Each structure stands twice: as structure tokens, then as C-alpha cells.
Homo-oligomer: A and B are copies of this chain.
Amino acid sequence: MVLTCLGYMKVLVAEKCGFCHGVRNAISVAEKVLAAENDVYSLGPIIHNRDVVERLAKSGLKTVSEVEAIRSGTVLIRSHGAAPKQIARLEEKGLNIVDATCILVKRVQHIAGELEAQGYKVVIIGEENHPEVQAVVGCAKDVIVIADESDLHRLPQNAKLGVVCQTTQNPEHFGRMLGAMGRGSFSEMKVINTLCKEAIKRQESAVRLCEQVDVMFVLGGLESANTRRLAELCAKVNKHTFHLQNWNELDTNVLHGKRTAGVTAGASTPDWIIGEFVKNLEVFDSSG
């Protein structure tokens, strides 16, 4: 934990926060391709951070939501991956494909396919509309998505379930869902722990920090699953928790009367966003 106690506000930054390996790799891949080529697309935002995506757009990266929007050039597969069908369509179009999928996400996709081949009914615990989950859903014929208890009715009776988890979920939720599934009528359940250990460390570090501060800021994209998870966990411990994309989004009224602030950031939040936020916070007069 970095202790910075200058100016009016004591600001504590979570020991583990900001870019993870997968995000760092995706940006590095994008930058290399953009330096070498002109016609570069990303199928969906390369990472879930608007500021980073805008910066890469200035370097020429065109973010599209559909395969059909790309006619020529190079396509980056974003950190959250893409379904095999989408990749096949890109190949059919003769496009140059550069894969920037996080290796842990790639592993979930691979495991989903393997579990199905082994005769398991594939189940992923995660958010149905998140691109990582959508890509995994595309890796097996019939995948059941369980976001929470309200989805348990989707599980077949007496089945052999092959279970994976969206990488950015938290262990508590993963365990709760496995417990709920375990109370049901399954015959067998093969669970592969596909949680990202880095994400878990960030969650633990964020929760520890937010217990000690008057106000907690979680910086990162509003679409970013891992950032939202951090914000959810912190909000359970510290009700003065705010999920923001950057300093500009802060309503400084929330700082009034606060003496200590905690800052953490999702895996797709660049250091300069965190640095700028901390710097502004340290010199903010919260007493007035």
C-alpha cells in the first residue's frame, strides 16, 4: 500500500490495482499493429476503458461491433475474446486476424469445449451479456449461463454439469453458486476454477483498503466486469464507495468532511488515470 499524505486529504492507494497482464498485453499488441499497419479494427472495445480506447482510436484503431462492418485490413480480437463462429467469419472474409485475447479467457474457452467433448453440460457462472461470457458460450454447442440464484432453473435435472466461471467473478459468489447447484439434483459436477488470481488479489486488496477509509473510489470503465466487481465488494464494506471512470466524473461534494480516501482501479484502468486522480485528490481541500 502506498501512503501519500500531502495537502488536505490522506489518500491510500490499493496495493494491487490497475493494469493486469492480459490488458497490458492487449494494448501492447494493439500499439504494435497500429505502428505497422493502416487499416486496423477491433471487434468490440479492445479493453473496457473508454480513455484507453479513445487514445488508441487517435492512433487509428477503429472499434466496430459487428464482423460485417469490416471489409479489409487487420482485426484485433479483444482481451475478452471472440466466439469461434465470429473468428471463422473473419477468416472467410480473408482478414488478417491478430489475437489479443487474455490467456486466462482463452483457457476458459478451451475448457468449455473440452468439458462438452467429455459429455458434460457446460455451465458458466457469470454475466450473460459480458463479451467474455458470450465468447465462451460460443465455444460449446449449448452453454448455460448462471448469473445468480434466479438462473438456477435453467439447469437440467440429474445432469453431468461441467462448470467454469467468468474470470473476473469473485470467489464468494463462485462458491455461493456452486453451493446452490450442489443442493440440486445433479449426478456429477466437474468444476474447473477459472477465476483470475490477479483479480482476486485486487478484490482482497480493495476490500482491506476500503475498511480503513472515509470514502472509497473505484476507477475504471462502467462496462468493466472486474471494476464493477471491485465496486460491489467495496460498497458492501464502505457505503461511501464510488465507481468512476476518471477525475472529471467526480462530484467533489462527496469529499466534504472526509479525511481519508482510498483509491483502487480495475484491471483495464491505466496508471495515468489513477495518478491524475490521486494527485487531484491529495490537493483537494475537503474541509470547506
Interface residues of A (CB under 8 A from B): 171-172, 174-193
Contact = CB atoms under 8 A, between A and B. Distances in A.
Nearest to A188: B192
A190 B190 contact: yes
A179 B175 contact: yes
Contact of A193 (B174, B178, B186, B193): B186
Contact of A187 (B171, B172, B180, B193): B193
Contacts of A188: 190-193
13 contacts: A171-B182, A171-B184, A172-B183, A175-B181, A175-B183, A176-B179, A178-B182, A185-B193, A186-B193, A187-B192, A188-B191, A188-B193, A189-B191
CB-based closest 10 A-B pairs: A179-B179, A175-B183, A178-B182, A175-B182, A189-B191, A190-B190, A175-B179, A171-B183, A188-B192, A178-B178
Contacts of A183: 171-172, 174-176
A121 to B, nearest CB: 14
A186 B172 CA distance: 13
A28 B195 CA distance: 51
A199 to B, nearest CB: 14
A265 to B, nearest CB: 25
A108 to B, nearest CB: 13
Contacts of A177: 182
Contacts of A172: 183
Nearest to A174: B182
Contacts of A189: 178, 189-191, 193
A191 B189 CA distance: 5
A181 to B, nearest CB: 7
Nearest to A195: B185
A107 to B, nearest CB: 12
Nearest to A192: B188
A171 B184 CA distance: 7
Contacts of A182: 171, 174-179, 191
The residue in A179, A181, A187, A190 that gathers the most chain B C-beta atoms within 10 A of its C-beta is A179
A185 to B, nearest CB: 8
A77 to B, nearest CB: 26
Given A187-B193, A191-B191, 8 more contacts: A171-B182, A171-B184, A176-B179, A178-B178, A179-B180, A182-B191, A189-B189, A189-B190
